Structure 1
């Protein structure tokens, strides 16, 4: 259910089962990454943790050094692409004729669909200014408690 509290409980169980011997965690989203970080912090552990969504709290965790990366999809780029696709479809263009459309196979049944895949931005301590300058998060939100040397915070 993408719930941070479930991720925290699961991470606590993983840490117990492995005597805290965990090298890194890749989480399906930033909320769950927050639960993972809480479990790790309770054990005094700081290891690489990745999440995705560009969640504001996750961006701040990146600045504070408790989360290594958050994969961000810029809503401005997503909205622009969606608008262009909708206009082209409304004008009668078939999806496979839209510039940039490719076949994407995924899901449980492995069905191929037409898609336009945009490049996400991995936000790390070295490029947090991308999200700040993009208006996704304020400098104050991103940089509260930031470690020295975090891009956009000093």
Structure 2
């Protein structure tokens, strides 16, 4: 969703990984769109438009989350392409796990909310005790899409395939 800054973070991260291959011509980006409200139905409409504009020649899809991946898979299914086009998502939701088991979604990136909560509480406690973010073990610089550098602690996501 264009109104959610997380969409920009996810897009920037994806482009950071794919940029070199796109610039070299190894990968051709045939479309990108915000999915209003992160709704699967809107993702399906976006994907239908990409398929139409490219005569169904889409080799892979990087979806922002598993809900939008579900919309993508619905569009691919309508064209008989489900399971032939790799589709990524994130969140590890039940529907995505089923699609992975069926072979219509390739991967879901899961971030354990329990670990996120535990780390957030530990950091908050240390900050409350007067420690600076830069002094917390594992804190690294992160540059936001807006160009601000902030100290961050990165957790390791899990790829579910």
- Give the equivalent residue in structure 2 for 1:15: 51
CA distance in 2, matches of 1:42, 1:31: 17
- Which of 102, 106, 111 aligns to 1:68? It is 106
CA distance in 2, matches of 1:49, 1:114: 32
Give 3-state SS (helix, strand or coil) of 1:99's partner: coil
- CA displacement, residues 107-140 of structure 1 (integer Å, 9 cap, x when unaligned): 2x2101111011100110xxxxxxxxxxxxxxxx
- CA displacement, residues 28-86 of structure 1 (integer Å, 9 cap, x when unaligned): 11110000000000111021000111122111111111100000001121111111101
List gaps (5 residues or longer) in structure 2. 1-36
CA distance in 1, matches of 2:147, 2:92: 28
TM norm structure 2: 0.74
CA distance in 2, matches of 1:119, 1:69: 16
- Which of 5, 27, 30 aligns to 2:66? It is 30
Give 3-state SS (helix, strand or coil) of 2:38's partner: coil
TM norm structure 1: 0.77
- Which of 144, 148, 151 aligns to 1:106? It is 144
- Give the equivalent residue in structure 1 for 2:94: 56
The structure whose residues are more often helix, as a share, is 2
Give 3-state SS (helix, strand or coil) of 2:121's partner: helix
CA distance in 1, matches of 2:98, 2:130: 44
CA distance in 2, matches of 1:122, 1:97: 30
The ranges of structure 1 where at least 4 consecutive aligned residues each deviate by more than 4 angstroms after the TM superposition are none
